[in-house]
Amino acid sequence: MSTILNTLITQVLVLSFLGTLILTGLIYLIGRRGSGVFLANASVGVSFTWFCAFILGTPDFPPEFNNTAILSATACLLVSGTLFDFILIKRRNFPQPIIIIIILISGTSITIWMRSGIDFWSLPILFGWSIVALGLQRVSANKDFGSGDSALLLAIASLGTAIIAWISDIVVDRDLAFGLCAISFGFFICNCPKPRLLFGYSILLAGGGSLYMLALRLVEQMPPLIPAFIILGFIFFVDVASQYVQKNLKLISPIPTSIKLLALSLFPLALATVVTLVAIEFPIN
């Protein structure tokens, strides 16, 4: 245990987690109930951008248009998300069609960026992004859940991605996914026990976009992992399952929603892990 705690990557993960807590608190305190509530979620994008720079080094300028540009793409998504959050300070919310357009344009942009263009496979890849982004946005907008629950799902999905990369022995993406998990969990802690910070476009685009790009990087390196990520994607539907269980099992009503979502997320997480092990042990040529 002491050996694990003394490794550099573990120390950086802990630092990223604590840094997210501190940065989120500072933004909230500076902005108070005005801009602080809307802009505090930018801490996730800022922390992950720093974490990417630590793992990958300084990005090229101008940035390359391939899957190595995850740092530059995350920074761009962070800037875009922060601008949308700033607009929300006055508007409070966007109409649903505008939200869908923002998600589709962002997804199309990073798909073209990461794949150096557009081809036949861009459509199913973009569909995967839509599941991630719309799932996170749906949970945060649902009065039965909240911004903390969306951050929890992002953290769990990032953990699943890290486990898949770990089993596949893809070290860089494993570390990046663990970093995103720790950072997302830091924002989740800031929303406990009662959600007070908006799950805004900064964390949706920078956090959700980073998860999407990590999955894309892993699939391009090892296509047999596609079934594992399809199964992992069901994490973004556990809110629907939670509401169904809530209606049919009244005894679990006192259980916090975060605990319910965590318990239900374990099923796709465990199954995706098993599928990854099978894909690695029995590769299809």
115-146 per-position pLDDT tens digit = 777 777 778 888 888 888 888 888 888 877 77
Mean pLDDT computed over 165-182: 92
Q: Record the pTM.
A: 0.90
Mean pLDDT computed over 60-83: 81
Give exposure, 208-241, as e/b (b: 16+ Cβ within 10 Å). Answer: bbbbbbbbbbbbeebebbbebbebbbbbbbbbee
The pLDDT of residue 228 is 93
**Residue in 15, 218, 48, 21 with CA at minimum distance from that of residue 128:** 218
Query: Measured between alpha carbons, how far is 73 from 78 in angstroms, rounded to an integer?
Result: 9
Structure-block tokens of residue 80: 């875009």
**Residue in 157, 101, 162 with CA at minimum distance from that of residue 134:** 101
**Dihedral angle of Cα 64, 111, 135, 29, to the nearest 10 degrees:** 30
pLDDT(3) > 70:
no
Query: Measured between alpha carbons, how far is 10 from 162 in angstroms, rounded to an integer?
Result: 14
Mean pLDDT computed over 26-34: 81
DSSP string, 169-189: T-HHHHHHHHHHHHHHHHHHH
Name the band, by pLDDT with cuts 50, 70 and 90, for residue 211.
very high
The pLDDT of residue 273 is 95
The tally of CA atoms less than 13 A away on the side-chain side of residue 266 is 5
Q: Which residue has the higher pLDDT, 266 or 88?
A: 266
Query: Measured between alpha carbons, how far is 59 from 141 in angstroms, rounded to an integer?
Result: 35
Query: Measured between alpha carbons, how far is 143 from 107 in angstroms, rounded to an integer?
Result: 26
Cβ atoms of 173 and 218 within 8 Å: the answer is: yes
Share of the chain above pLDDT 90, in %: 34
Name the band, by pLDDT with cuts 50, 70 and 90, for residue 13.
confident
pLDDT(252) > 60:
no
* Cα 141–chain centre separation: 16
pLDDT(33) > 80:
no
Q: Which residue has the higher pLDDT, 88 or 184?
A: 184
pLDDT(103) > 80:
yes
Mean pLDDT computed over 203-210: 92
